Structure 1
């Protein structure tokens, strides 16, 4: 999988088109002339214009059903099918360096995990469990006896969790895995790592957040009395060529609204972005939004609603992981 780790603010800045800053309120006017601002605003109006009501080929929904019947592979992570394929790219912008992710293009499976930062205050490596989950999941995929084998995400997450817990790995982590089996996208996730499936520039499926209370997500750990993979939300949707899957940790989804994700994807599609380019722009935008104290974010919006903090604004600085998968015809 193409992947990139951004490390400097200069890299973030170069990654984000001015049109996005102009459209979504993080445009840095002091760096540019008025004429350049107008050009960016005009480009934003063209690339980020709202779609007509019939812009999506299927009805839009934001729910994600916990339906065991939708995942008829819980006991075995292996499934076969190659009707469609994935092209992958990813970007990781670290703050605490507690996220991890993997992608296997041939097996058409991607995953992200976010270590629970609260363990840092206990002297525990908060990245240990997220890295254990992703390393073990990737190892299971890589050792498949038949190249191109497809995987059930819930069973793969279960296997990875069992192996990570058996090693008495410290800490805890949220996690999400999405796979393409034949022409069906399947998913399993725990906590606030999640995904969005876009079709025609609109979100077709979007994962909700599993949390005990605000900013306290469900999390997997080595403790048997805590959240288990059986608590994961699972589901599936028929995939089509041209669909785009955005998989990310809460560093993305706490800082970028769904309509902003849609706008960035439409812009990137119009400009011919590869998956890596799309992941870079999404992650870079999330990073700048996280540092803005003058604009709203999903994090501040939900904080006001759930905590009653009427003056809460701004983003949430955090590790940001974005994995982008384009659904494409299988390679012959």
Structure 2
């Protein structure tokens, strides 16, 4: 069985915008890597709490770690992510690898998609309102004019202590509470290893297919948002165990999760979530799946008001 994620790219595709074929940089020209460093093949991001005070009982502090697959041709891999702390918004995307059979770098699509999503979130927050993740996804889709397709997940923490998220495909999020996974977003796929995906192919999906998620959170919860490089390889129980009790910085926890996923991905005999799903589909499969791995870890914390007093909600 091929371990490359399937996509609709075997069908006819729409032509990309005229300038897209001339790009030579692996990053789109308007990509914003503020707060990130590209180092030794790892794209890491660490953020503190938001820079501006929010009238909310909760806030979110996030960090990320990225392990691209080893590739001389595509050293940046096909995943992308962003963290926008001022808007309490995060996102991940996973370019569909099967495009490589047609000479297309799906990483260009996922990186542009996340760059446009962050730009939309910043524009929304700059207008004085909250961030609508569905609008961010829709704006990003409309503004991404290169060939390819990608899964995507975008999440924002609202002022009333609810995470509002949209998800397309098999990237997603989990909420760890009191040492166990309290919630996990469902995978969207047509069949095994064929996820819903945004893209320019005529058989690709549009933002309207996105699952819309709302979950109430509270201080102490930990959000793990990731591409399938994590969730295909690491069981929920191990995710919760590796998250721990919140003593480490979120970026360090993201690194721990990503490195564990990589170790499992290279194993041929360990029991993994993707092996279990393959067998359910009648496919013989064992071990992990080697893939790009992006993990964002976000701590939900009690917010301080402008005087520095911690806001505590005593309700149940």
TM-score (norm. length: structure 2): 0.75
Question: Is the 1:81–1:181 contact (alpha carbons within 8 Å) kept by the matching residues of 2?
Answer: no
- Distance in 2 between the 1:244 and 1:198 partners? 5
Aligned to 2:156: 179
Are the counterparts in 2 of residues 117 and 126 from structure 1 also a CA contact under 8 Å?
A: yes
Contact 2:148 2:201 (8 Å CA) reproduced: no
Q: Secondary structure at the match of 2:186?
A: coil
The structure where helix makes up a greater share of residues is 1
Which secondary structure state, in structure 2, belongs to the residue aligned with residue 143 of structure 1?
Answer: helix
Deviation at 1:129, TM superposition (A): 1.4
Cα RMSD for the two superposed structures = 2.2
Instruction: Identify which of 284, 294, 298 aligns with 2:259.
Output: 284
Secondary structure in 2 aligned to 1:106? helix
Tell me which residue corresponds to 1:89: 63
Q: Say which of 38, 56, 81 aligns to 1:101.
A: 81
- C-alpha deviation, 1:225, in angstroms: 4.9
Give every structure 1 segment of 4 or more consecutive aligned residues whose post-TM-superposition deviation is greater than 4 Å: 1-9
Match of 1:51 in 2: none
Q: Structure 1 stretches of 5 or more lacking a match? A: 10-79
Cα distance in 1 for residues equivalent to 2:189 and 2:89: 25
Q: What is the CA distance between 1:140 and its match in structure 2?
A: 1.6
Instruction: Identify if the C-alpha distance between structure 1 residues 85 and 133 changes in structure 2 by more than 3 Å, giving closer, same or farther.
Output: same
Q: Which residue of 2 aligns with 1:63?
A: none
Q: Which runs of 5+ in 2 are unaligned?
A: 1-33, 43-53, 72-76, 307-316
**What displacement does 1:82 show?**
3.2
* Correspondent of 2:219 among 237, 241, 260: 241
What secondary structure is seen at the aligned counterpart in 1 of 2:106? coil
Q: What is the CA-CA distance between 1:6 and the residue it aligns to?
A: 7.0
Q: Name the structure 2 match of 1:152.
A: 132
Q: Tell me what 2:206 maps to.
A: 228
Alpha-carbon spacing, 1:211–1:191, altered in 2? closer, same or farther (3 Å): same
Partner residue, 2:237? 259
**Correspondence for 2:269:** 294
Equivalent residue in structure 2 for 1:274, among 214, 235, 249: 249
* CA shift in 2, pair 1:327/1:147, >3 Å: farther
Residue number in structure 1 paired with 2:105:
125
| CA distance, structure 1, for counterparts of residue 214 and residue 302 of structure 2 | 19
Supply the distance in 2 between the matched residues of 1:302 and 1:138 (Cα, whole angstroms).
33
Q: Find the aligned partners of 1:145 and 1:213 in 2 and give their Cα distance.
A: 37
Q: Quick one: distance in 2 between partners of 1:284 and 1:179?
A: 26
